[in-house]
Structure 1
Amino acid sequence: MGELHHECGVAAVFHAPGAAVSPMCPIPGDVNSVARLVPRMLLDMQNRGQLAAGMASYRPDRNALIKVHKELGTVAEAFRLNHKSEFEAILSGVDGPVAIGHVRYATCGGDDRYNAQPFERDHGRRTKWFAFAFNGQLANYKTLKEELLSKGDYHLKRDTDTEIIMHALAYELQNEDVDPDWVGIFRRLSEWFDGAYNIVLITAHGELVVARDPLGFRPLCIAESGPLFAVASESVPLANLGFQKIHSLEPGTIAVANAEGVRIERYAPSPKQSHCFFEWIYFANVASTLDDRSVYLSRAGLGKELARLETVPRDEGTIVVPVPDTAKAAADAMAFALGVPSVEGLMRNRYVGRTFIEGTADRAAKARLKYTPLPEVMAGKRVLLVEDSIVRSTTMRALVREIRDRGRAREIHLRVACPPIIAPCYYGIDMSTRDELFATRFAEYDGDRLIVTEEAQDLMAKELGADSLRYLPVDSIARSISLGPDRLCRACITGDYPTEAGRDLYQIECHPDTAAASARKRAYETAVATS
């Protein structure tokens, strides 16, 4: 619905030095063309961030051993993909046998080029010279900032956890020689960091280091073919390059690629996992496979769960309509199970730019820009409208009105392929503050748990202008993804956070003394002052 945004996506490629040039290289016989794979990979992850895009590369035969290019906008805008000469000029400046890339949506830090990634830490000693990109969010980054500033002569130019990570890496590298102990470095960082972090890093020695946090919040896929090793936040970029064997980097492990080959080592124990369930139901490309679970099949499973709970009478005038695009797999599976048609009653305008939409203040106007309801499909019909989630409700409210007025639907029964979102995310998804979440206003305590009852869902339907509303129950998520609830982070639908900092931030947000501040800022923005 345009109300949820992800932190970002990362990519990396490494070509073994001295090896025959891989046939996957964009320019045959040119090992330095490996870096050109990065913009292509980022295009396949554009769903993970459209605010900025960038890449950094290593090349041993240039003065700037590490070079960075990054700009605001989509991948096409940042790399000038529609302007061949400009694109070639950019890529010729950052080509090389090792490279990393990043697409960004900000949950903290500013919306300017200065905060775009990768970040480079320039240094006269090659061991201390590196560039890195980061996917996730440190729940304790405000505390980390205070601790870092208290160490002495530190100055931070940005208000973002990415800069904290850069300084932490630099601090750990200060006593390392030309062969850093990456296992020890990330082990020490894991004792300091609380939250989600996938990191791709290149050094001025031509080494690639990839790390996934011990809880595995965000997905991270790796693949190897001959001399080429590649990494991406999702499997699709790797599959589209032609890699056959793609698997997930285990939580709490690092992959180090250098002249000696690729090695994978554990840097921290991972006694429990907390994979973000939203990756499967919303964020990831529907063609991806994450931690051995298909995104498409997971979303289809959500649709079957919706069908199992459906009680609305069905006749030849009943249709299922998905809200494009992420709800389509769930809607199709639901319709098939119910024996009713799944039709595209809403057309999405894929050519309206992000800036154009964000420049429109009115939510109803934004809905009209993004979606066109088809009266030829929906007029006089009982519509089961399937959406993947509702966050603040403002866009959904406008969309229901559009379907009733312009689409001329007889009835609108809203079906959400997700439980009610009752708590914010502190691990890399922009879910705003607790007070702005639609479902929180209707939730009530059942013992120590917040729940949204069927009666409350009836009230929510009336407020949205729908004839009825049904969410999925919490336990349906684990069944659909085929992962046990103990391996999933479901904090936004349960209020049960898997890390100490997450639990502390939620208490801050719920505390009456900080409620006013939380209404204006996210909890982690006020954590230092209030905790």
Structure 2
Amino acid sequence: MSELRHECGVAAVYHLPGPQSPLCPTQGPSHASRLIPRMLLDIQNRGQLSAGMASFNPERKHLIERYRELGSVTEVFRLSHKEKADALMARYSGPAAIGHVRYATCGKDDVSYAQPFERRHLQKRKWFSFAFNGQLANYAELRDQLLAEDDHHITRATDTEIIMHELAKELAGEKRQPLLEVMRGAARRFDGAYTLAMINALGELLIARDPLGIKPMSYAVQDSLFAAASESVALLNLGIDPGNIRSLEPGHAIVISDGKLDIQPFVDKPSRAHCFFEWIYFANVASTMDGRSVYLSRKALGEELAQLEDLTIDDDTIVVPVPDTSKAAADSMAYALGVPSVEGLMRNRYSGRTFIEGGDARYAKAASKYTPLREVLEGKRVLLVEDSIVRSTTMRVLIDRLRTVGHVKEIHVRVACPPIVAPCFYGIDMSTIGELFAPHFLKNAEGSEAAFKAMADELGADSLRYLPVESIARAVGRPPGELCQACISGQYPTACGQQLYELAVEKAGGFEDPTAEQSASRTYEAAHRNG
């Protein structure tokens, strides 16, 4: 749903020693950094609040230069104005660079929270910039420990700053620590999900993925160009051969030092708990995650929906996807059922971030993004396919608009995901039980059928169906034990994640009052105050 947002995405490039790569900008290897905005555009789906980059250039006095602003990638890098964009790229040129797009799951919406972050130091090996995707479940504990030491000053309510301090601690002292050992030391104190890209003033680059692989990271080497990004589509669209694109294994780091690339584990026993939401919602449909196509996973979800469908199909029945992430599932469901899949809802791709005021602001914001096509919908029995229902805000608006504008006869909501019953503490913006739609109904109804009927009545739909939990592993093509399914099961892959869930249950009063937390703080933030 458009009401659910991911935290961020990262990208990195490095022109290795050797002939200029054909993929590199025509200005030469020292301008490899120009590829960063292009890569960030391809992972813009992961964050629209801010964008930024940091580059290394040994020919500059300022060996690391950082640039970040609020806005979309196009706005931040002035991509609609060639002269301004060229001036920016010239100023921040370098043979190595990292980039970031952000949506905040914690912290404020101001430019000081935009990434990459930078820690300047007189010693080159201690001067670094880094970008981070994910969330530390033990943020409160780490923050309190740092403040208790009296040697650290923390200015922002974000785990990005905590990570910066932890990396700096590993770099302290007179002995030069290899970046792999820096990551190894810091990772011992991290509980949560993360991928990060770090560059220092020696021109060394580190790319790391958390020990469970909760967050995705793809990389490739072609000719003399190394590139990495949160999603494979960013590498594919650089012109990299798909056969060269790999997923970084959980608990592994890529280090480029002295012009040489090395990949090593930084934890002893990496495991797997890939976020299943990447396949069903977050990732670009053109991406491949850990060897599994996002498109094929969503197609399989639609086939699962078709197998469960018990509605009598007639000539007036049509399947309508909620744009855009539900289209693959809707199309495959319709094909399996032998009914038309039609675009009865058109998304306004240019609405951008809206700031509509007034009592009906939420309704107006959602309504501005989708337009029902009455000519297609009138008098039809609609199977409305959605990838997930989290808070239900947008779904309520869509159902109302389908009836009042589209003049549909019936609306049967089909969700290509199990009910979301638990918060996420690993980088998805849903951290309290009270903000979720499903838990209250599942707690108070006798059986899932009664719960689904109550949900449908609440939404204004004629019926509502979800996929069962076991459908996810089949669609993604991964064993359940290799997936993080905490938000649909309440079982978290890390100890601190499970502790935060118990705190969330306590705050929600055992699910008895679904509105109790609506004005309360996020569990993530409450843990800090309670710590």
| Whole-angstrom CA distance in 1 between matches of 2:193 and 2:327 | 28
Q: Deviations over 1:260-315 (max 9, x none)?
A: 41100011034531100000000000000000000000000100000000011111
Shift of 1:258: 2.6
Asked if 1:47 is matched to 2:45, the reply is yes
For residues 410 and 217 of structure 1, the distance between their equivalents in structure 2, rounded to whole angstroms, comes to: 42
Q: Deviations over 1:63-120 (max 9, x none)?
A: 0100001000100011011111211111111110000000000001111000000001
Shift of 1:513: 8.8
Deviations 1:347-403 (A, max 9, x none): 000011214468995232122210000011110000000000111112111110000
AA in 2 matched with 1:461 = A
CA contact (8 A) 2:431 2:524 kept: no
Distance verdict in 2 for CA 1:62–1:83, change over 3 Å: same
The answer to whether the 8 A contact 1:433-1:519 is kept is no
Q: 2 CA distance for matches of 1:512 and 1:8? A: 27
Q: For residue 56 of structure 1, give the secondary structure of its aligned residue in structure 2.
A: strand
Distance 1:41 1:359, change over 3 A: farther
Contact 1:214 1:273 in 2 (8 A): yes
- Distance change >3 Å, CA 506–CA 308, structure 1 → 2: same
Instruction: Tell which deviates more after alignment, 352-361 or 183-192.
Output: 352-361
Give the match for residue 137 of structure 2: 139
Q: Letter of the 1:197 partner, please give it.
A: Y
Match of 1:91 in 2: 89
Deviations 1:37-61 (A, max 9, x none): 0000000001000000000000001
Equivalent residue letter for 1:277: F
Q: CA deviation at 1:185?
A: 1.9
Q: 2:316 touches 2:381 (CA, 8 Å); kept in 1?
A: yes
Does 2:464 align with 1:469?
Answer: yes
Q: Measured at CA, do residues 357 and 235 of structure 1 come closer, stay the same or move farther in structure 2, by a change above 3 Å?
A: farther
Q: Partners of 2:204 and 2:523 in 1: how far apart?
A: 37
Checking the alignment, whether the CA contact within 8 Å between 2:252 and 2:263 is kept in structure 1 is yes
Aligned partner of 1:196 in structure 2 is 193
Measured after TM superposition, the shift of residue 432 of structure 1 is 4.0
Q: Secondary structure at the match of 2:59?
A: coil
Instruction: Pick closer, same or farther for the CA change 1:357–1:217 going to 2, 3 Å.
Output: farther
Q: Contact 1:16–1:258 at 8 Å: present in 2 too?
A: no
Partner of 1:109: 107
Distance 1:438 1:486 in 2: 26
* Number of residue pairs matched by the alignment: 524
Structure 1 unmatched ranges of 5 or more: none
Q: Kindly indicate whether residue 187 of structure 2 is the aligned counterpart of residue 182 of structure 1.
A: no
Q: Could you say which residue in structure 2 is the equivalent of 1:160?
A: 158
What residue in structure 2 maps to residue 479 of structure 1? 474
Contact in 2 for aligned 1:214/1:269 (Cα 8 Å): no
Contact map agreement 2:423 2:433 (CA 8 A) in 1: yes
Cα distance change of structure 1 residues 512 and 85 upon mapping to structure 2, 3 Å threshold: closer
Change over 3 Å in CA distance of 1:482–1:187 after alignment to 2:
same
Describe the shift of the 1:452–1:474 C-alpha distance in structure 2 as closer, same or farther (beyond 3 A).
farther
SS at match of 1:319: strand
Normalising to structure 2: TM-score of the pair? 0.96
Deviation, 1:181, is 2.1
Partner amino acid, structure 1, of 2:207? V
Partner residue of 1:530?
530
Q: TM-score, normalised by structure 1?
A: 0.96
- Displacement after TM superposition at 1:177 (Å): 4.2
The amino acid that maps onto 2:352 is: G
SS in 1 for 2:152: coil
Structure 2 residue runs of 5 or longer lacking an equivalent are 511-515
Please give the secondary structure, in 1, of the residue aligned with 2:323. Answer: coil
Cα pair 1:127 1:176 within 8 Å, conserved: no
Write the distance in 2 (CA, Å) between the matches of 1:255 and 1:230: 11
Percent sequence identity over aligned pairs: 59
The answer as to whether partners of 1:127 and 1:177 remain within 8 angstroms in 2 is no
Answer yes or no: is 1:213 the counterpart of 2:210. Answer: yes
Output the aligned Cα RMSD: 1.8
CA 1:357–1:25 in structure 2 vs 1: closer, same or farther (change >3 Å)? Answer: farther
C-alpha displacement of 1:183: 2.5
- Once residues 452 and 432 of structure 1 are traced to their aligned partners in structure 2, the CA distance between those partners, rounded to angstroms, is 26
Partner of 1:171: 169
CA distance in 2 between counterparts of 1:452 and 1:403 reads 29
Match in the other structure for 1:127 = 125
Give the structure 1 partner of residue 513 of structure 2: none
| Residue in 2 that maps onto 1:2 | 2
Equivalence for 1:496? 491
**8 Å contact from structure 1 (residues 58, 99) kept in 2:** yes
CA distance in 1, matches of 2:508, 2:397: 34
